[in-house]
Every structure is written in C-alpha cells, then in structure tokens.
Amino acid sequence: MNAALWSKIFPDLRALPSQTQVDFRCGMNKDYLADGGLLDNKVSKLKFNDNNIISFDLHFGCSIYTYEKRSAELNPMEILAEIF
C-alpha cells in the first residue's frame, strides 16, 4: 500500500510522495499499547453474560510505518532481507 491510498484516512500522509510505501499495523496486546506510549492500557476482554449476551471491551493500538524505497528499486536480496 502506498501513501496516496492511506492519505484519504490520515491527511498527514499527504506530505509524503504518493508512491511512498506505507505499512499499517495494529495490535491488541498490552505490550503493543505500552510501546505506543499510551498511559492507560488495558487488555482486551470478551465476556459472556447471562441470557446469551456477549459484551466486549476492545483496546488496540495502531502504527503507521513508511519506507523510503519502493520495492521496484530494491534488488532481490534486499527484499528477502526485509522479509526475514
């Protein structure tokens, strides 16, 4: 995905060149929330109440990572190094 696509949701990405590669990652564990600098972080919960009522409390954090090089500019070994 590139900055042109995500800039519709995140207007700050319009400052980047449109072909800048963007990676959007989300996590629901407490460590991910703490790494994001959130002071009030809680683990997500799913509860089954009486009368078959389900209630949930979802806490998640998301990050946006941008990459300067496009995949077409990378040689095959660099692409492999990014994966592993």
The average pLDDT across 63-74 equals: 70
Higher pLDDT pick, 19 / 29: 19
b/e 49-84 (16+ beta carbons within 10 angstroms → b)? eeeeeeeeeebebeeeeeeeeeeeeeeeeeeeeeee
More confidently predicted of 53 and 58:
53
What is the mean pLDDT of the segment spanning 10-26? 82
Whether residue 31 is predicted with pLDDT greater than 70 in this model: the reply is: no
Beta bridge partners of 23: 65
